[in-house]
Chain A
Amino acid sequence: MNDKITSALKVPETKADDKPIVEVAGLCKWFGDFCALFDINFSVNSGEKVVVCGPSGSGKSTLIRCLNQLEEHQLGTIRIDGREVKPGMKGIEEIRRDVGMVFQSFNLFPHLSVLDNLTIGPIRNRGMSKSEAAEMAMELLDRVHISEQASKYPMQLSGGQQQRVAIARALCMRPKIMLFDEPTSALDPEMISGVLDVMVELAEDGMTMLCVTHEMGFARQVGDRVIFMDDAEIVETADPESFFNNPETERAKIFLSQLLSH
């Protein structure tokens, strides 16, 4: 394996309070007249793992989709690694390449093999050669424990396997931060742990992560902070232990009791 690929696999080793990768200030977003996000302020430092949770419809997904402009916001500022992200901006592709995203429904490209799903980004965006990209992709597939499926098509894999391929595809762009949008919500129960294991390993390797998830075990294990959202606002920010054991706000208490009631 040559040096270029080794460096591609290595996540930058930085301290958790090094520098902000994501800075959000006064972010507001409306769908028509419906306010989906209201006055959101937070930042994620390099190497930090932040978990976003809250009831459905509270704006969690909209929030992380605004970060790479899959949704356009109307007010406030978003900075990714120091660069401001604006609706309709030129060169948004450059920023998106630094932001890995994993979707709830995997969104793999069904007409491409698993390997091609991974290599299309590096080949088209980073000008990598085919063999170089394939070598890196195989390393990443190995990292998500699925390298034996490289030549298959997405439809031939289970949901859990597809989601791990999706994680590897995002990693292929060597992102500075990974966004997860409820990565385990669409999975059968027996598939969830495989995906969470990969995410935990990724966190242990020092990746900066922003996860929308209701997996409390995962949040406790790797989360540095929990952001609790309700009704388009950030209601509470705390470290996982204190959030799950003693939530401060009434709304968080109600949400957690509903989460635990079954």
Chain B
Amino acid sequence: MAATDQTLTRERPKATISLSQTARTSLQVLQAIIIFSILAWVSYRGAQAMEYNWQWYRVPRFFYRIIDGEIIWGPLVLGFIETLRLAGVSIIFAVLIGFVTAFARLSNSFAGKWIATIYLEAIRNTPLLVQLFLFYFVLAPIFGMDRFWAGVLCLSFFEGSFASEIIRGGIIGVSRDQYEASDAIGLTPYDKYTKIIIPQSLPLILPPLTGLIISLIKHSAIVSVIAVSELTTAGMNLISETFMAFEIWFIVAGIYLALTVTLSAGVSLFERQLEKGKH
């Protein structure tokens, strides 16, 4: 309510801290504390009831050991690096396959559309595990690939099919006006796409593509079934040696979580950079 004795000016009134606002915020903080306390207590009681012998003190040596002043990296770190390598190479191939397939589907070429559609339907309608076995037991011997590349190609073709739909959607999302403007100044098709259309479709492509990359990192765990020495394989090996299933699975899950959360935070930052100064 505006006080009647004050004259209205064009200057924006200064914000005042309202007491009710502060009270509401503290209430919400209190709520969160109570909920988390209850959750922590339930987990603690659950673990006690199972009479599981927690051995967290043994965990650091799975990461590294120092022998004669020299750091020896443990299986979890080596597995993590292998997961990074596996996922990193697969992401690059998946995005490449995605772009090629998207443009094949958007093209006027009959063969291009046909092959792209068959590829998409075949990959999206069969289980990833079956595809992995096909790559490892059928294609790998034929083409002389090792297990790492069989895993990489399987993940790339699987996620590439989803990437292609994301990329196609982004390209279709750029307005017709932009195609016409590019044509009107006589840009070649290559320049039209690389300079005008794709840069504008990036804001549409990036958020769902981040989700795809995160799911690729998670799906990379499946190559443990063909014994690629990545993080999940390292975890399974450790458990069969130490029987510390709970600690190790929690840590493995924690490492995947840290990786994917860092990635999505990085991409949001990049998106904000893209948007900066344009509006």
A residues at B contact (CB < 8 Å) = 68-70, 93-97, 99-101, 103, 105, 107-111, 120-121, 124-125, 153, 155-156, 169-170, 172-173
Q: How far is B183's CA from A93's CA once the two chains are assembled, in angstroms?
A: 7
Residues of A near B188 (CB, < 8 A) are 93, 124-125
Question: A-B contact count, CB below 8 Å?
Answer: 69
Q: Cβ of A105: which chain B residues have Cβ within 8 Å of it?
A: 177
CB atoms of A125 and B186 under 8 A apart: yes
18 A-B residue pairings within 8 Å (CB atoms): A68-B183, A68-B184, A70-B180, A93-B187, A96-B184, A96-B186, A97-B186, A101-B184, A103-B177, A103-B181, A103-B184, A109-B200, A120-B195, A121-B185, A124-B191, A125-B186, A155-B279, A172-B185
On whether the beta carbons of A125 and B187 are closer than 8 Å, the reply is yes
Interface of B (DSSP majority class): helix
Is A70's CB under 8 angstroms from B184's CB? yes
**In the complex, B48 has a CB within 8 A of chain A:** no
- Whether A93 contacts B186 in the complex (CB less than 8 A), given A103-B180, A107-B181, A109-B178, comes out as yes
What is the distance, in angstroms, from B132's C-beta to the closest C-beta of chain A? 39
A170–B184 CB distance below 8 A: yes
The chain A residue sitting closest to B175, CB to CB, is: A107
Known pairs A107-B184, A153-B279 / 7 extra A-B pairs, C-beta < 8 Å: A93-B187, A94-B186, A105-B177, A111-B200, A125-B191, A156-B279, A173-B185
Task: Choose one: A95, A110, A124, A170; the contact of B187 (CB below 8 Å).
Answer: A124
**Residues of chain B within 8 A of A173, CB atoms compared:** 185-186
Report Cα–Cα, A107/B177, bound state, in Å.
6
Chain A, Cβ-Cβ closest to B203: A111
In the complex, the answer to whether A109 meets B278 with C-beta atoms within 8 Å is: no
B contact residues around A153 at 8 Å (CB): 277-279
In Å, the complex CA distance between A153 and B279 comes to: 7
Tell me if A109 and B181 are in contact (CB < 8 A).
Answer: yes
Closest chain B residue, CB of each to CB of A173 = B185
